[in-house]
């Protein structure tokens, strides 16, 4: 199917649902789903955002603004994944427990409000990555319209642009817990310092970035093309002082640059080592 056909198929899918609750993070994937759901269902579509320490306050505000511009009804619920040691201890399947908490919150809400379907923003490319959260969502009956229709991440942005969403090129912004290597315990204080550090860099005009946290060290990942200009033009002593004020002891720069899902490479290396053993 071409892009126009996929969009038509998505609209038909929502029309057949009749009423749907969108698990809406404010990222471009779930924003596109919210837009199409609203266009197809109007008042029979509801977007719900989960507020927790792993979501930056700025991202929550973005979600509010975007939902208002789309026109879809929007609500915020509290989730408590940090109370679950299976999540906060940060095992390799951490996302399973995060999405379990999310959908254990959304599903009863949907049924109470008369929405037979909970849908999320998982796209076709997500299915080929290590995403244990997808399993948790599926176990709880959630549907993923983008994945069902075969919409890739690139096509998500193309569709968002086609629908004139101003945020079509918004950088991916997964939950802050993804900044920690597996096995390092996650705390609210650690999430906050990572969030503040990334906000500092965004205020410098940088977009595609991560601040990875490893113990007391912040490792900055930037787009490879931005590394040299960053080194040459940044007031590095001021940046280090700011990061230390947030709670880090050391500040480093990843010379490979930003790559989505980089922390999952430890899983790939482990699998290769096992195959060679």
Return the active site residues: 175
Whose tokens are 């947030």? That residue is 246
Angle, nearest 10°, between helix axes 28-41 and 3-17?
Answer: 60
The Cα 235–Cα 208 span in angstroms is 20
The token duo for 146 is 């983008």
Report whether 20 contacts 119 (CB < 8 A).
Answer: yes
Strands (E), the chain: 20-23, 45-51, 73-78, 117-119, 209-214, 217-222, 250-253
Going by the DSSP 8-state scheme, the letter that residue 249 receives in this structure is: S
Whose tokens are 């779930």? That residue is 30
Q: Report CA Rg, the chain.
A: 19
Whose tokens are 């749907």? That residue is 20
**Cβ neighbourhood burial of 151 (10 Å; 0-12, 13-18, 19+):** buried
Element containing residue 136 per DSSP (H, E)? helix 132-139
The Cα 221–Cα 255 span in angstroms is 8
């Amino acid at each position: 199917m071409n892009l126009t056909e996929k969009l038509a198929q998505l609209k038909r899918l929502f029309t057949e649902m009749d009423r749907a609750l969108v698990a809406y993070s404010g990222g471009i994937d779930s924003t596109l789903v919210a837009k199409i759901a609203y266009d197809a269902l109007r008042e029979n579509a509801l977007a719900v955002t989960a507020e927790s320490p792993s979501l930056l306050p700025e991202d929550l505000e973005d979600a509010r603004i975007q939902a208002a511009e789309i026109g879809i009804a929007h609500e915020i619920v509290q989730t408590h994944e940090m109370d679950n040691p299976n999540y906060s201890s940060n095992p390799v399947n951490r996302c399973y427990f995060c999405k379990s908490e999310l959908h254990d919150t959304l599903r009863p809400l949907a049924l109470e409000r008369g929405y037979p379907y909970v849908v999320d923003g998982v796209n076709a490319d997500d299915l080929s990555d290590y995403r244990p959260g997808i399993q948790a969502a599926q176990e709880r009956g959630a549907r993923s319209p983008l994945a069902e229709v075969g919409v890739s991440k690139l096509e998500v942005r193309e569709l968002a642009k086609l629908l004139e969403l101003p945020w079509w090129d918004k950088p991916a912004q997964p939950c802050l817990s993804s900044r920690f290597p597996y096995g390092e315990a996650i705390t609210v204080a650690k999430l906050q310092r990572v969030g503040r550090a990334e906000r500092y860099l965004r205020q410098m005009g940088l977009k595609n970035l991560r601040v990875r946290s490893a113990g007391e060290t912040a490792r900055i990942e930037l787009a490879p093309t931005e590394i040299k200009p960053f080194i040459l033009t940044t007031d590095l002593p001021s940046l280090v002082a700011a990061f230390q004020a947030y709670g880090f002891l050391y500040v480093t720069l990843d010379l490979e640059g930003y790559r989505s899902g980089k922390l999952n490479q430890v899983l790939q290396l482990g699998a290769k080592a096992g195959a060679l053993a």
